[in-house]
Amino acid sequence: MSVIEVTDLRKVYAGRPAVDGVSFAVEEGEIFGILGPNGAGKTTTVECVEGLRAPDAGRVRVTGLDPIADHRKVARVLGAQLQQSELQAKLTVREALELYAAFHERPADWRPLAERLGLTAKLTTRFAKLSGGQKQRLFIALALIGNPRIVVLDELTTGLDPRARRDTWELIEDIRANGVTVLLVTHFMEEAQRLCDRIAVIDKGRVAALDTPAGLIHRSAGATVISFTPSAPLDDRDLNALPALASVEHKDGRVTLSGTDETVNAVLTLLARTHITAHQLRVTDATLDDAFLDLTDKERA
Ligand SMILES: Nc1ncnc2c1ncn2[C@@H]1O[C@H](COP(=O)(O)OP(=O)(O)OP(=O)(O)O)[C@@H](O)[C@H]1O
């Protein structure tokens, strides 16, 4: 069942389309990612889902409700992450939790929520004195305090160190395991690859691709990467003639090719035929990073 439906959404700022015909549907219980370069229209899209912005055209439904016309009902099912500026510096963690719990008809008990988010030791600390990771955990707690079915998290781990980022990812997985649907805006590929069931890649206000992380990687041109240091120079004509080749790169005597399994097999045959040994041979799958660049580059071309 789709809990969020966005159909042909358009939003124009000063005559320039920021969102230009975006459609996607988020299924109950999934972690759905919105990924895209700066200025792609990600935040505008989720703000329309949250009912913070009115679309110029198109249709948005959250559990069948219109986020603008049914704002109060939508606020009961959808928890949104606050922006940093929306919380007073002097408020303690406990006060923030109690205050936001009071905004909801059927709030979650904030104590176990604070416990789950590792905030119990920080209940008397003022917001301004929290670390970046603790602030993010508090924002997640506040987004969850109304017991929402869906939570929208925008640029959640920006500015966090690798440890705090990983802890936050575990939290998001934990939230989903508790049955909450997650709409996640990010421009971290690793985050999207690790967490999301499906991803909409948004570029220049449009959906450039919508698939599982593996599907996005698979559909990009260079899905498999092989690199090695040849014992003797290889003829560029031979390399360029390899089947399904997406790219060739030479750096510090090392050759890196991307393509498909067919490219890998053909290069091994080429090496054997020319009696060239491949040192430190590595075959890897392309990452979502590669797929992202490939997908958004295509749009740019
Ligand atoms: N209130 C506004 N008034 C005018 N233009 C805006 C407004 N908000 C966003 N824009 C423009 O709309 C476009 C899309 O912005 P949006 O914030 O949705 O992108 P984004 O994908 O979230 O970017 P980022 O990753 O940098 O946060 C950008 O060109 C931005 O400058």
CATH of the domain at 90: 3.40.50.300
**Could you give the angle at which helices 132-144 and 93-102 cross, rounded to 10 degrees?**
20
The answer to whether residue 41 is domain-embedded is yes
Report d(CA 117, CA 144) in Å as an integer: 11
The structure tokens listed for 293 are: 């660049």
Which of 16, 19, 43 for mutating ligand 1's site (highest number of atoms within 8 Å of CB)?
Answer: 43
* Residues having CB within 6 Å of any atom of ligand 1: 13-14, 18, 36, 38-44, 187
143 with 9, same domain: the answer is yes
Structural domains in the chain (count): 2
The residue whose CA has the least distance to atom 5 of ligand 1 is: 13
Q: What is the pLDDT of residue 301?
A: 42
Q: What are phi and psi of 44, to 5 degrees?
A: -60, -45
pLDDT of residue 189: 82
165: containing domain: 2-213
Ligand 1 centroid to residue 41 C-alpha, Å: 6
The reported pTM is: 0.82
Ligand 1 centroid to residue 40 C-alpha, Å: 7
CA 247–ligand 1 middle distance (angstroms):
33
Yes or no: say if 137 and 82 are a contact pair by the CB < 8 Å rule: no
43 and 35 in contact (C-beta within 8 Å)? no
Residue that terminates a domain, selected from 213, 244, 261: 213
- Tens-of-pLDDT digits for all 301 residues of the chain? 899 999 999 999 999 999 999 999 999 999 999 998 888 999 999 999 999 999 999 999 999 999 999 999 999 999 998 766 678 899 999 999 999 999 888 898 999 889 888 899 999 999 999 988 888 889 989 999 999 999 999 888 777 788 878 888 888 898 999 899 999 998 888 889 899 999 999 999 999 999 998 888 777 766 788 999 999 999 999 999 999 898 899 999 999 998 888 899 999 999 999 999 999 999 988 777 777 777 776 544 4
The CATH code of the domain that includes 227 is 3.30.70.980
For residue 117, what pLDDT is reported? Answer: 83
* Nearest CA owner, ligand 1 atom 11: 18
Confidence at residue 221, expressed as pLDDT on a 0 to 100 scale? 65
ipTM for the whole complex: 0.95
Compute the distance from residue 43 Cα to the ligand 1 centre, in Å. Answer: 7
- Write down the pLDDT at residue 227: 94
Q: Are residues 159 and 279 in the same domain?
A: no
